[in-house]
Amino acid sequence: MAKKFAPQQFLNRELCQLEFNRRVLAQAEDTTIPLLERLKYLCIVSSNLDEFFEIRVAGLKEQIKLGGIATGADGMTARQALKLVREQAHQLIERQYRLFNTDIIPALAGQGIKFLRRTHWNEAQQAWVKDFFLREVMPVLTPIGLDPAHPFPRVHNKSLNFTVELQGKDAFGRNSARAIVQAPRVLPRTILMPPEISGCEYGFVFLSSILHAHVGELFSGMEVLGCHQFRVTRNSNLFVDEEEVKNLRLSLQGELPQRHFGDAVRLEIADNCSPQIAEILLKEFNLAPEDLYRVHGPVNLVRLMEIPNLVARDDLKFPPFVPGVPGVLQKKGADMFKVIRKGDVLLHHPYQSFKPVIDFIQQAASDPGVVAIKQTVYRTGVDSVLMEALIGAAQRGKEVTVVVELLARFDEEANINWANRLEEVGAHVVYGVVGHKTHAKMLMVVRREDGKLRRYVHLGTGNYHPRTARLYTDFGLFTCNEEICADANEVFTQLTSLGKARALHHLWQSPFSMHSEVLRAIQNETRLAKAGKHAQIIAKMNALLEPEIIGALYEASGAGVKVDLIVRGVCALRPGVAGLSENIRVRSVIGRFLEHTRIFYFRNDLKHDVYLASADWMDRNFFRRIEVCFPLLDKKLKKRALDEGLKIYLQDNAQAWIMDGEGHYQHKIPRRAAQKCAQNELLGQLANPPSRAAP
């Protein structure tokens, strides 16, 4: 029986998540990173914090509201966690805006990229702004005067809004003192002013500045005493009782619009907003003073993410690259089925192209020998060539089965739309298993060859999403190994049919076997170490939270197993603690690409087992999702994944952050040794120079 560990031997999830965002913010602070990329990192922090408040903070507040005192493995109550989260979030956001105002903005200005403040506009700029307001902004605004007939409007989640203080009487003799102006989402938050007017190559004006300057145009004959921007973040968890509903898709379609109007969890206001207005807004949204975030600048930095796309300055961005293609696939129009029959193919994104995956589906869709295609869809995007290929396959009469996860957070609407289109052309669309998200990344093609049916499979660690395949690190495996294909077919059968789960040859599957198999592999290393043999575990993932797995790693450490963990985001394990985890090291790599690969290595008495997975080591992945973890059986691919996916990251001394037992991280910077950056080295090894034609 596994040993029980005390709460103080685990770290809090929410605080770990804020620690991760501090590491991302450090990228924006790093002056060795191209300037426009630093701005992107600054925006990514805001985007991450939005979701953090929408989901994690909202969850803590919900627990408190329901009177629950349930604690996580760390023993902290929701009320205790929320108190610490508020304190640390305020510090992080203050640091973020200080960097924006004192470093990023001046550095951009030095490069001819300026944010033109309304207090500094000259006459020509004022005239241009006024014309833009009257022509592009005013026609789509709907100011709401607050009076008994016009109560406070429903404010959309994360929308830009203004509270306007007024004096005087309107056309009907009303003496209303306040109004709300909501900025339509169709309007850009930053507007590029012509160079001949701005006086610089790239002069941007904030929409908030334009509204501030001309809000009086909306209230004829009244005096504007004040205008203050604010933004509300709401609970975005969807509450659909999957056990009760008869049609999950219809229930979800009814619930989605309400996501934008959930309970408020955070209020952001400009720092010049008066205490009286702040108090009124807090009361309106039923928030505590600790939920108020005063910022010096735009209340939504996320919308500045578009700036680098509007600025044609390659010298201020990461160097371009062309994803490489494995040699066996470089021949133009290569027959994917013929290549896979010769041997398994491993792709390492984004260093290697995602195009072979697209080619595989497109060839399957048009190949007369292909009789069936089955695929899981978690996130694929609004525009997807893969989904279009599946639609085309169904139109050609092939048996197309798509397992669409409707509850893929923030992608629900896109997935519902794809499900509708697939059903219209006769594809079989199923929504997985009630109570379990389908998170596995699987694609299977059944092809008739020489009078027999042969299966081909693609298994991956990331989504079938061409755009994120250029931004996230992931592995994808093509194989026609009969046993692995039989395993994949069994998982598809579980998802679409009914019946007991059967034992699989090679795949570990959640919620049935993955947790126990990972435990078994860790405990096997512990047993080998106790027998005096060299034992080692290296694992890379996005998050490590599941208490029993952490406990098993602690026990492995105590037995002398060398454990290296590469965890991008939250990690509840405390490394390097005397008497607990002396043999465990944890690092996080934050760089140009989002580290998304899940890869697990167990030395296993020189058998060197290497597994790739769709799952992190979290409770939800082990027990509440459909996940697959698959081995690499080919020795060359196994070595390649070990070298490219793990060893090179353990050698990184440029983008690696080393975690201590308190959950804090130190940036690993070389003093004398040459700098070694895993992502850059992999680009050099696997990608092509930008001068080469894109695959």
User: Domain map of the chain by residue range?
Assistant: 7-316, 327-502, 509-686
Mean pLDDT of 259-268: 81
CATH number, domain 327-502: 3.30.870.10
Check pLDDT > 50 for residue 694.
no
Q: Mean pLDDT over all residues of the chain? A: 90
So what's the pLDDT on residue 176? 67
Identify any residues that bridge with 180 across adjacent strands, giving them in sequence order: 144, 163
CATH number, domain 509-686: 3.30.870.10
Phi and psi based region of residue 611 (left: phi greater than 0; alpha: psi -120 to 50; beta: remaining): beta
pLDDT (tens digit, 9 = 90+) per residue, 651-691? Answer: 999 999 999 999 999 997 777 778 899 999 999 999 986 65
Say what the pTM is. Answer: 0.92
Q: Catalytic: which of 439, 458, 465, 515?
A: 439
Could you tell me if 641 and 488 are in contact, meaning their C-beta atoms sit under 8 angstroms apart?
no
DSSP H helical ranges for 531-572? 547-559
Least confident of 230-239, 329-338, 487-496: 230-239
Could you tell me if 193 and 117 are in contact, meaning their C-beta atoms sit under 8 angstroms apart?
no
Counting beta carbons within 10 angstroms of the beta carbon of residue 138, is it exposed (0 to 12), middle (13 to 18) or buried (19 or more)? middle
Mean pLDDT of 291-315: 94
Band of residue 2 on the pLDDT scale cut at 50, 70, 90: low
So what's the pLDDT on residue 419? 81
The 3-state DSSP class for residue 476 equals strand
Check pLDDT > 70 for residue 412.
no
361's enclosing H/E stretch is helix 355-366
Which tokens sit at 195?
A: 């160079």
* C-alpha distances out from residue 572 to 12, 409, 568, 583, 599, Å: 6, 23, 12, 16, 19
HEC secondary structure over 68-91? CCCCCCCCCCHHHHHHHHHHHHHH
Counting beta carbons within 10 angstroms of the beta carbon of residue 238, is it exposed (0 to 12), middle (13 to 18) or buried (19 or more)? middle
Which tokens sit at 289?
A: 């003073």
CA angle, 543 as apex, 623 and 83 as ends, to 5°?
100
DSSP 395-449: HTT-EEEEEE-TTSTT-HHHHHHHHHHHHHTT-EEE--BTTBEE---EEEEEEEE
Neighbouring CB atoms inside 10 A of 185's CB total: 11
Least confident of 130-139, 258-267, 307-316: 258-267
DSSP H helical ranges for 10-34? 13-29
Neighbouring CB atoms inside 10 A of 252's CB total: 20
Which tokens sit at 270?
A: 């400009």
Band of residue 242 on the pLDDT scale cut at 50, 70, 90: very low
pLDDT (tens digit, 9 = 90+) per residue, 141-192? Answer: 988 887 655 678 788 899 999 999 988 766 555 566 788 999 988 889 999 9
User: In CATH, what class is 7-316?
Assistant: alpha beta
Least confident of 22-31, 147-156, 190-199, 499-508: 147-156
Least confident of 31-40, 247-256, 332-341, 461-470: 247-256
| Spatial CB neighbours of 74, under 8 Å, sequence gap ≥ 6 | 7, 8, 10, 11, 12, 13, 572
Check pLDDT > 80 for residue 233.
yes
Mean pLDDT of 325-336: 89
150 is catalytic: no
Cα–Cα distance for residue pair 430/376, rounded to 1 Å: 10
So what's the pLDDT on residue 498? 74
CA-nearest of 74, 31, 48, 24 to 657 is 24
CA-nearest of 437, 436, 483 to 459 is 483
Amino acid at 575: P
Least confident of 333-337, 446-450, 567-571, 658-662: 333-337
Least confident of 184-193, 214-223, 244-253, 387-396: 244-253
Identify any residues that bridge with 617 across adjacent strands, giving them in sequence order: 544
Check pLDDT > 90 for residue 24.
yes
Could you tell me if 232 and 155 are in contact, meaning their C-beta atoms sit under 8 angstroms apart?
yes
Mean pLDDT of 374-386: 82
Check pLDDT > 50 for residue 245.
no
So what's the pLDDT on residue 255? 45
The answer to whether the 327-502 and 509-686 domains have the same CATH topology is yes
HEC secondary structure over 315-358? HHCCCCCECECCHHHCCCCCCHHHHHHHCCEEEEECCECCHHHH
Band of residue 84 on the pLDDT scale cut at 50, 70, 90: very high
So what's the pLDDT on residue 341? 97
CA-nearest of 408, 411, 354, 412 to 386 is 354
Check pLDDT > 50 for residue 252.
no
Check pLDDT > 70 for residue 261.
no
190-193, strands of its sheet edge to edge: 113-115, 202-206, 190-193
